[in-house]
A and B are shown apart, each in its own frame.
Chain A
């Protein structure tokens, strides 16, 4: 047991594991109903993956797998793959969560590789909010450290907290609207979508869509995110009679537009679709 935990940093002794509702085992394939993927399973992995559909304690799953002559390394491979596609659901007690945090910190200190847990959630506003908050966790830690530094250097801590709160809330609200806009545009063509969150990264997983829909989704998300941040901060600046709040809105709007750059994210999707449509024409 300890070997698997030590290796992954993903699961802990008291965890319950299950397969996401959007995945299913069909003979020797793992079907992802959202994107229409068929991942080929090794014959020895089929039963082990099928068992995950039953919300099974990790210990029991490992015991069963050992009877099937699966090694810890092979079990780890299965878990890591499922986690990479957001298909592994881990249920953990509060105590388990604390223990896991301690384990993660120990691994960080020892310089051991850590596996970031991925989550696949239905695209409701509540789940989008949850995914965005999870992605923003490093920002909350950085904000806390910044407040500590401001306190240490005898700066105006209240002002620092106030400005950071405005910045973080604006970022939070605009990112939720950004993701929900993607989701709403995609909904025009398919209801089969989920939000995937892994560390600071987010994405809407969906089947292949027409170029126009992909283009519209990729463009509208950052646009709505930028507009919402300016409007939100504009309203706050009127409410609190503080024009500097509008600066925060413009700042976050710039961050939203960064995602339109062609190197990654929405910008990459737009660029890729544009290239594809140009090649189709020529």
Chain B
């Protein structure tokens, strides 16, 4: 017998397949957060009034105060 303390049963898999929804949601939040960060960088001390996102054309417009 090998030195492993436990030899897993190869006939069974423990798949944790459901992560897409949460991961994609996290990706979405990163995108939104990144937009806010971009607004902060572009507008500086003036602040950002609005960020308008055109998802279809992959275009974002930052309106500074």
Chain A interfacial positions (CB closer than 8 Å to B): 30, 32, 35-42, 44-45, 49, 70, 74, 77-78, 81, 84-86, 135-136, 138-139, 142-143, 145-146, 149-150, 152-155, 160, 164, 167, 171, 174-175, 178-179, 196-198, 200-203, 205, 225, 251-252, 255-256, 258-259, 261, 264-266, 268-269
Question: In whole angstroms, how far apart are the Cα atoms of A203 and B14 in the complex?
Answer: 9
CB atoms of A149 and B11 under 8 A apart:
no
Instruction: Please name all residues of chain B whose beta carbon is closer than 8 Å to the beta carbon of A255 when the two chains form the complex.
Output: 20-21, 24-25, 28
Q: A77-B5, A145-B33, A152-B40 are in contact. List 13 more A-B contacts (CB 8 A).
A: A39-B6, A40-B1, A42-B5, A44-B5, A74-B5, A78-B6, A85-B14, A138-B22, A155-B50, A179-B18, A201-B18, A201-B22, A265-B17
Within the complex, the shortest CB–CB distance from A281 to chain B, in Å, comes to 24
In the complex, chain B residues whose CB is within 8 Å of the CB of A32: 9, 12
Is the beta-carbon distance between A136 and B22 smaller than 8 angstroms? yes
Summarize A's interface: helix, strand, loop or mixed. helix
10 nearest CB pairs, A to B: A154-B47, A149-B36, A201-B16, A153-B40, A37-B12, A259-B20, A265-B17, A37-B9, A146-B33, A142-B29
Write the nearest CB–CB distance from A191 to chain B, whole angstroms. Answer: 19
Chain A residues contacting B46 (CB-CB under 8 Å) are: 154
**B1-42 CB contact bits vs A (8 Å, 1 = yes)?**
101111111011011111111111110111011001101100
- Enumerate chain A residues within 8 angstroms of B33, measured Cβ to Cβ: 142, 145-146, 149
Instruction: State whether A146 touches B25 (Cβ < 8 A).
Output: no
Residue from the list B3, B9, B18, B65 in contact with A202, Cβ < 8 A: B18
In the complex the two chains form, is B12's CB within 8 Å of A36's CB? yes
Alpha-carbon distance between A49 and B5 when the two chains are bound, in angstroms: 10
**Alpha-carbon gap, A37 to B18, bound state (A):** 21
